[in-house]
Structure formats: C-alpha cells, structure tokens
Amino acid sequence: MSSIPEETTAPAQEYHAAYQARLADAIRALTDAARIPRPRLRRTEDGKWVDDTMAVPDQTDWAEFVTLALAGAAANIGGIDAILNGRPGSWEAEGVRQLLFSTVGAGEAQLWEHRTEPIEITLYIEELVVDRVHETVEQYDAAEAEIDRRYGVAGTASDIDHDHYLWLYDLTGSGDFVARDPEAPAWSWDDWRAGLDPKDPARFHQQLEESLRSGWATGAAIPKTPELGAEHDRLTAEQDARCAVIANLEEQLQQQRVHEWTAYGEALKTRIEMMAAATPGLDVPVHVTVNVDTYRMGASRQEGFWDSLECRLIDAAVRDTPTPADLPGTPLERLERLHVREEG
C-alpha cells in the first residue's frame, strides 16, 4: 500500500492534465505555423519586389518561427535561466539555452525586444523590510519597547491605593457581592450608583450596571466617603490622561511606520520604472504596485523565478535606494521632532 497521502494525488493529476493540454496546444500551434504558405517574390521591370502569384508558395521558415516563439516565451517569463528553472541541468535545457543564445546573445542583449507581456511587479514592503532591511524592523521594535516602558512608568508613577479610597467587592457565582474588607458595609446598589463619577455619561453608567448584573464584570467598588471617592476619581483621571498621551504617541508611531515604508516603496517603484525604461529592447508597459500591509507566510515558495528580470530589477532597486533605516535619528526621535515643529 502506498504511503503517499491520498490528497497529494489530485494536484499531481491536475498538473499532468494541464501539462498535456498545453503541450497539445503548442503542437497544434507549431504544426499550423509550419503549414502557413510563404509567397514567392518576383522583381518587376522597374526593380520592385512583388508577390509572384503564379509561382508555387515556399514553405514558411519554421525554424525562425520556433526560435522567435521561444525567445518571446523566455522574455515573458523573465529570462533564459528563469524559463529553464524547472530542470536547468538537463540536455533538453542545454539545447534550448544554446538555441536562445544564438538568437538573442549569451548576455540576453536582444532578449527583451521579444517580450509581449507587461511587467507586473508587486512590492510587498513588509517582506522586503524584514528580509533585506532588518535594521529598520529593529529600530521600530526598540521604539515599541520604549512605548511599553513609558506605559509602565505612567502606571507606577501614581499607583493608586484603591483600598484606601474604596470598598472593593467581588461578584460570586450566585450573583452576590462579597466585600474584601470585613469592615466594609453590605453591598448596596444605591451606594454604588451614588459613587459613580457624575461626569460620565448616563449611558455609560447604565452599561456598567448591566455588565455587573449579567455577571460579565467580576467586581465593583463603592467610595468609602464622597471626598475619598472624588480624590480617587481625580487620581484615576490623571493616570488615564498620561496613558492617553502615550497611546496617542503609539498610534502616531504606527502611522509614521506606514508612511515611511510607503515612501520607501514608492522610491523603489520609481527606481524600478527608471531601470526598466533603460533596459535595451524592453518596450512593454511596466506596472509596479506598492503593498505595505501584506506579509505572506512562505512567500519564498510562492515566487516564481528568482533569477527573472522582475527579481533583478527589484534587487537592483533595493541596492540603490535609501531605506527607512537611513533616516536621521530613531523612529521616536523623528516623531517627537515633528511634534516640536508642529507645536512651534
């Protein structure tokens, strides 16, 4: 009995079926090309060449047709090595390679004039940065670590002794509130409502009570005195305000990252378009899309041919283009300098 999982059979069958269908299409196309009659020419008395309608047509130059078709396919895939990547060391690959070299030159100097398909490139900036400009990722990781440190300082700088200001109650499975301090008064919904911050919207108070009654919340508190409750609210509001400033900085840091990586992608796009325009013989549209949001797991297995024209353009652009890591200062320093300029 075969140990190969049954589900691996279907993709192989689909591949072979597609292979045979394309092979049949190619055979028909090559056969039809060989049957195209090529008219003979004759010179007129005034020296012009015209079709000789009385002569039997020649057979078409089938060898030229085949070499041009191979050159066009190789150019569309991205190069000779790219199209032979399936089994580059085979005798068939070597024969095709030499045939193509004889047509377009060993350096592919005349290959790109045979390309018929547009160049389609999607720059996955997240992947490019992680794989090739990892210092940029490290810089932003360090910035996020600093944000976490500031959150910690904001929380500990004014740690609130809730027991000093509030009676704390835990909600049991039976729906009763049990005080943590034996000296606390019995739970009272009226006392709890009286201790709510009057600045909060009534709708918020209603939702909070619903969460307690439904058992979604697991605890509640009642101010020990109105004065202590007001002081607790003041300290909590100050702490929330400090954390809100840090949260805003954290959000702006992520926006800056997207902005800087988008700018990097656009610079790569411009460089790729310039190099494609300077590639001898290449006369097809070049479409470059910048994708900042997508990170594809296992992308190395999804890319078609690493030695293609498309990949060579990307590699050259990455080498020539300044990265976000080349920007002055750390990400947080850049962000805080921007705040200073805006406030100034």
> In this predicted structure, what is the pLDDT of residue 2?
41
* Euclidean distance between CA atoms 153 and 156, whole angstroms: 5
Residue 344: pLDDT band (50, 70, 90) is low
- The per-residue pLDDT for 108 is 87
Average pLDDT over every residue of 50-58: 69
CB atoms near residue 200 (< 10 Å): 11
The kind and range of the H/E element at 121 are strand 119-124
Residues 6+ apart with CB under 8 A from 21: none
**How confident is the model at residue 4, as a pLDDT?**
45
Q: What pTM was estimated for this model as a whole?
A: 0.73
Who has greater pLDDT, 215 or 182?
Answer: 182
* Two tokens, residue 25: 């299409």
Can you say how many angstroms the Cα of residue 157 is from the centroid of all Cα atoms in its chain? 39
- For 191-316, strand residue ranges (E) read 219-223, 286-291
Average pLDDT of the residues of the chain: 88
Q: In whole angstroms, what is the distance from residue 186 CA to residue 184 CA?
A: 7
Task: State pLDDT tens for residues 63-111.
Answer: 999 999 999 999 999 999 999 998 999 999 999 999 999 999 988 889 9
Domain residue spans of the chain: 24-117, 121-153+237-343, 161-232
Confidence at residue 113, expressed as pLDDT on a 0 to 100 scale: 95
**Which pLDDT band, with edges at 50, 70 and 90, does 249 fall under?**
very high
Position of tokens 């301090």? 181
pLDDT of the residue at 331: 94
